[in-house]
């Protein structure tokens, strides 16, 4: 065994900017490879599972997709039991009711829990706090990256400057040195700006101008409704401007109810007196009828997102050593698909694999390798959510993907779901759900054989049109070429 493989740590100190979900997952991974890991969080962290100013989205429902749960469970074994011990809602044995414009699917839930985003973060943070080599510095904001240039002109991030947020008098920035700095400061990350200030050329990010609005209201769940549903989803109809509604129980006998619309033509109301009426605009009355039986605990709160952004730092010609980025700071998604925390977990897993490789001596282009692999993890979630959001009039996409590919997949999934739900084909439906849970690649459904087998049974106008377009030998060849040209290859191996 040579020196490199016998090493157990890569370096002395790693620093993570931001102590939210992505930052905590990154710190957990880094703790295996660095003697010390420091998390810098601008908020004073609460000493109970409550919301804080740095994560204003936390008032709104947060679910972790299956893939994310599996990774979090690997990083923090038994964390679901921690959530249950803190009072999270046991979803096992309760009913999931999913109402679409194609019909309804009702399935029993599995071993899973419902909880607020604050409780989820609390449980993960408590697990990180007890790691002996991780330190959380709260109430301090990173304000600048520190960089050095060696004799060969190689640039390296060597640490950060931070300032105490409550410090009296003139700001006294403090510098912390670290061999690796990871930006996990969320969707308002200043990384692009800082890199430009350091002389880097930063490419335009991909943008999904989504103009979405959430309105979330918390309700007390009465005894007779307590053990019934783990989720009710009334999915919207974007072309008709009809929003999506979700009901999901969490801890303390509460349920979160969310109403969502995208495209910016109208936002869901946040007035208490309008909330039931707002729910009545959904495709069916399941949620509005339920609301009449529950007491709100506070007025609804809104959240608006003008655009979702996927930074393409992987496309930069130069990237400094010693710097990485993870979570919403790298790519943020339309939250209705519940992908953000799961993608952050996949990115943490990628970081883990790349650090393991580094420890084994493969150090060349470490940072670029991580950035490229993280883009592979982002791609399915980003592409699927963009395809879905583009059904809303008013949503616009700018980036490298083919609009024809998005249009095709909208038409095809419309046919797919009509069949899966219309025929109550649970296996077909579950395959779709497993794909949107990021457990299998979109290519598992979007391949020639699968597409043709679905189109053979076509019932919708769009499906019949697609069948006509791609029938016969010449049609199959056309489909093959279309997929190659317009649908991404999704390099990430699942
Ligand atoms: C309305 C809404 C609903 C959502 N629902 C879901 C869902 O159902 N499922 C899901 O998976 N995801 C959901 N998301 C996305 C999810 O919130 C994020 O993906 C997740 O929190 C991971 O984000 P993050 O840790 O990268 O950033 P954030 O959670 O935004 O955290 C960034 C952290 O960095 C800190 N910070 C910022 N700047 C600095 C600085 N300069 N120095 C130090 N600290 C700093 C902040 O205080 C904060 O703690 C939702 C998002 C929104 C907006």
Please indicate, yes or no, if residue 10 is contained in any of the structural domains: yes
Which structural domain range is residue 415 located in?
402-486
Q: Rounded to whole angstroms, how far apart are CA atoms 317 and 201?
A: 8
Q: Are 141 and 165 in contact (CB under 8 A)?
A: yes
182: β partners: 16, 324
Q: Whose CA is nearest to atom 41 of ligand 1?
A: 142
Q: Whose CA is nearest to atom 51 of ligand 1?
A: 335
Buried b (16+ CB within 10 A) or exposed e, 38-76: bbbbbbebeeebeebebbebbbbbbbbbebbbebbeebb
Q: Rounded to whole angstroms, how far apart are CA atoms 18 and 116?
A: 20
C-alpha atoms less than 13 angstroms from C-alpha of 52 in its C-beta half-sphere:
19
Q: Which of 64, 145, 259, 340 to mutate to test the pocket of ligand 1 (most atoms within 8 A of CB)?
A: 340
- Position in ligand 1 atom list of the atom nearest CA 340: 19
- Position in ligand 1 atom list of the atom nearest CA 18: 34
User: Does one domain contain both 57 and 142?
Assistant: yes
User: Does one domain contain both 105 and 132?
Assistant: no
Cα 379 to middle of ligand 1, angstroms: 19
Q: Which residue has the tokens 């493989």?
A: 5
Please indicate, yes or no, if residue 452 is contained in any of the structural domains: yes
- Position in ligand 1 atom list of the atom nearest CA 185: 34
Per-residue pLDDT, 7: 73
Which residues does ligand 1 sit against, CB inside 6 Å? 17-23, 40-43, 54-55, 57, 60-64, 141-142, 184-187, 214, 303, 327-329, 335, 338-342, 344
Cα 330 to middle of ligand 1, angstroms: 11
Please indicate, yes or no, if residue 320 is contained in any of the structural domains: yes
The residue count for the chain: 494
Q: Rounded to whole angstroms, how far apart are CA atoms 203 and 209?
A: 18
The backbone torsions φ and ψ at residue 311, rounded to the nearest 5 degrees and listed phi first, read -75, 145
Please indicate, yes or no, if residue 29 is contained in any of the structural domains: yes
* Residue that finishes a domain, picked among 274, 306, 338: 306
Q: How many CB atoms lie within 10 A of CB 460?
A: 17
Cα 446 to middle of ligand 1, angstroms: 31
Consecutive sets of 10 residues in the chain, 494 residues long: mean pLDDT of each? 59 98 98 98 96 97 96 97 97 95 94 95 98 97 96 94 78 90 98 97 98 98 92 97 97 97 97 95 96 95 98 96 98 98 98 96 93 96 98 97 98 97 95 95 96 96 96 96 95 60
User: Does one domain contain both 150 and 258?
Assistant: no
Q: Rounded to whole angstroms, how far apart are CA atoms 441 and 349?
A: 17
Domain count across the chain:
3
Q: Which of 176, 185, 262, 325 to mutate to test the pocket of ligand 1 (most atoms within 8 A of CB)?
A: 185
Q: Whose CA is nearest to atom 28 of ligand 1?
A: 186
Per-residue pLDDT, 3: 40
Please indicate, yes or no, if residue 391 is contained in any of the structural domains: no
User: Does one domain contain both 228 and 196?
Assistant: no
Cα 343 to middle of ligand 1, angstroms: 12
Supply 185's token pair: 């400061």
Q: Rounded to whole angstroms, how far apart are CA atoms 88 and 220?
A: 14
Q: Are 140 and 2 in contact (CB under 8 A)?
A: no
Q: Are 400 and 349 in contact (CB under 8 A)?
A: no
CA dihedral 309, 315, 316, 322 (to 10 degrees): 80
Q: Whose CA is nearest to atom 12 of ligand 1?
A: 340
Please indicate, yes or no, if residue 102 is contained in any of the structural domains: yes
Q: How many CB atoms lie within 10 A of CB 1?
A: 5
Please indicate, yes or no, if residue 355 is contained in any of the structural domains: yes
Q: Whose CA is nearest to atom 3 of ligand 1?
A: 335
Q: Whose CA is nearest to atom 50 of ligand 1?
A: 335
* Residue that finishes a domain, picked among 306, 326, 345: 306
Where residue 294 sits, what CATH number does that domain have?
A: 3.30.9.10
Residue 277: strand, helix, or coil: helix
Cα 56 to middle of ligand 1, angstroms: 8
Q: Which of 58, 159, 335, 336 to mutate to test the pocket of ligand 1 (most atoms within 8 A of CB)?
A: 335
Ranges of H-type helices in 437-488: 448-456, 461-469, 472-486
Supply 331's token pair: 């790519």
User: Does one domain contain both 77 and 102?
Assistant: no
Q: Please tell me what DSSP assigns to residue 88.
A: P
Per-residue pLDDT, 2: 39
User: Does one domain contain both 232 and 176?
Assistant: no
> First CA to last CA across the chain, in angstroms?
31
Per-residue pLDDT, 111: 82
Q: Are 65 and 72 in contact (CB under 8 A)?
A: no
């Amino acid at each position: 065994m040579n020196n490199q493989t016998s090493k157990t740590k890569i370096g002395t100190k790693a620093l993570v900017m931001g102590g939210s979900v992505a930052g905590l997952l990154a710190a957990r991974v880094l703790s295996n490879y660095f003697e010390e890991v420091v998390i810098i969080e601008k908020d004073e962290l609460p000493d109970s599972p409550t919301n804080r100013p740095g994560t204003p989205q936390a008032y709104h429902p947060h679910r972790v997709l299956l893939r994310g749960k599996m990774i979090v469970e690997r990083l923090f074994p038994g964390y679901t039991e921690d959530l249950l011990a803190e009072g999270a809602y046991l979803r096992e044995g309760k009913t999931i009711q999913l109402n679409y414009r194609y019909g309804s699917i009702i399935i029993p839930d599995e071993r899973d829990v419902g909880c607020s985003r604050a409780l989820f973060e609390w449980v993960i943070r408590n697990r990180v706090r007890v790691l002996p080599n991780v330190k959380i510095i709260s109430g301090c904001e990173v304000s600048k990256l520190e960089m050095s240039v060696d004799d060969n002109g190689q640039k390296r991030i060597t640490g950060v400057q931070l300032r105490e947020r409550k410090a009296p008098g003139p700001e006294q920035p403090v510098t912390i040195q670290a061999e690796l700095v990871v930006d996990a400061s969320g969707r308002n990350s200043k990384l692009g700006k800082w890199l430009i200030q350091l002389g880097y050329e930063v490419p335009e990010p991909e943008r999904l101008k989504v103009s979405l609005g959430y309105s979330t209201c918390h309700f007390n769940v009465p005894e007779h409704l307590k053990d019934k549903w783990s989720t009710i989803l009334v999915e919207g109809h974007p072309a008709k401007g009809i929003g999506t509604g979700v009901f999901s129980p969490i801890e303390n006998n509460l349920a979160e109810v969310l109403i969502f619309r995208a495209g910016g033509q109208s936002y869901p109301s946040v007035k208490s007196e309008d909330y039931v009426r707002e729910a009545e605009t959904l495709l069916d009355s399941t949620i509005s009828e339920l609301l009449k039986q529950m007491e709100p605990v506070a007025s609804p709160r809104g959240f608006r997102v003008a655009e979702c952004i996927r930074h393409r730092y992987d496309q930069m010609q130069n990237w400094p050593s010693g710097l990485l980025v993870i979570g919403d700071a790298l790519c943020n998604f339309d939250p209705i698909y519940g992908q953000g925390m799961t993608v952050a977990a996949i990115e943490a897993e990628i970081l883990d694999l790349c650090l393991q490789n580094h420890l084994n001596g493969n150090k060349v282009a470490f940072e670029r390798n991580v950035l490229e692999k993280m883009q592979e993890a982002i791609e399915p979630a980003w592409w699927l959510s963009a395809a879905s959001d583009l059904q809303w009039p008013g949503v616009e996409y700018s980036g490298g993907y083919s609009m024809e590919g998005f249009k095709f997949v909208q038409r095809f999934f419309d046919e797919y779901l009509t069949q899966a739900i219309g025929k109550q084909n649970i296996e077909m439906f579950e395959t779709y759900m497993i794909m949107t849970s990021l457990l299998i690649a979109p290519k598992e459904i979007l391949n020639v054989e699968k597409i043709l087998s679905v189109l053979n049974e076509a019932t919708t106008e769009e499906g019949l049109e697609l069948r006509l377009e791609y029938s016969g030998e010449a049609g199959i060849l056309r489909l093959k070429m279309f997929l190659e040209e317009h649908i991404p290859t999704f390099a990430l191996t699942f």
